[in-house]
Structure 1
Amino acid sequence: MINVIVSYKVKPEFVAENKLNIENFLSSFKEMDTSKFNYSVFVDNDGVTFTHVSNYQDENIQKEVLNNLIFLEFQKKRDESGLNNSHKVQILEYIGSTNNIL
């Protein structure tokens, strides 16, 4: 299993658009085989820090998700909004959970 956390800050004027772009790619993900991955997005209390938590059964589904055209468009718009070097990616080793992730 592959587990990834991505966090970044956007400018306050981009928050509403970023939320809409997130809704769009999450909606498109629902057309995929979601039994093979889980993708969640959170916004911090500061209102500008977004955290994406994803779990993938394997590299194949990770590639499929990350190459989704709507997701790629989201990333392009997000990056062009100006992240001020706040983008952080963490790869995590799964230890356990109260529920099955996949």
Structure 2
Amino acid sequence: MITVKVTYTVKPEFVEANKENISRFLIDFKKLNPSEFRYNVYLQEDGITFLHFSTYKNEEIQKQILNIPSFKSFQEQRDKSGLDNTHKVEVLNYVGSSFDVL
């Protein structure tokens, strides 16, 4: 199992466009097998910092998900918006949960 936490801050004028881009790839993600991955996105209290929290059954599933065209388009537009080195990717080590994760 692979769990990843990604945070980044966008410019205030890009928040709505980023939300729309996220909605597009989440629509495509919902068409896939939910038993193989989980993907959640949050907007933090400051209103400009996004947190993506994802869990994948294995590396093969992760690669498949991250190569979906709508997700790649989201990443490209996000990166072009000017993140000012705020993009942070953390791979987390699973310890336990109160429910079956995958």
TM value normalised by structure 2: 0.98
The corresponding residue for 1:80 is 80
Structure 1 position 68 matched with structure 2 position 54:
no
DSSP 3-state at the match of 2:38: strand
Unaligned 5+ segments in structure 2 are none
The corresponding residue for 1:43 is 43
DSSP 3-state at the match of 1:96: coil
CA distance in 1, matches of 2:21, 2:100: 28
Superposed displacement of residue 40, structure 1: 0.2
The corresponding residue for 1:16 is 16
Give the aligned CA root-mean-square deviation in angstroms.
0.5
Unaligned 5+ segments in structure 1 are none
**Amino acid in the other structure paired with 1:76:** E
Structure 1 position 100 matched with structure 2 position 91:
no
**Aligned residues between the structures:** 102
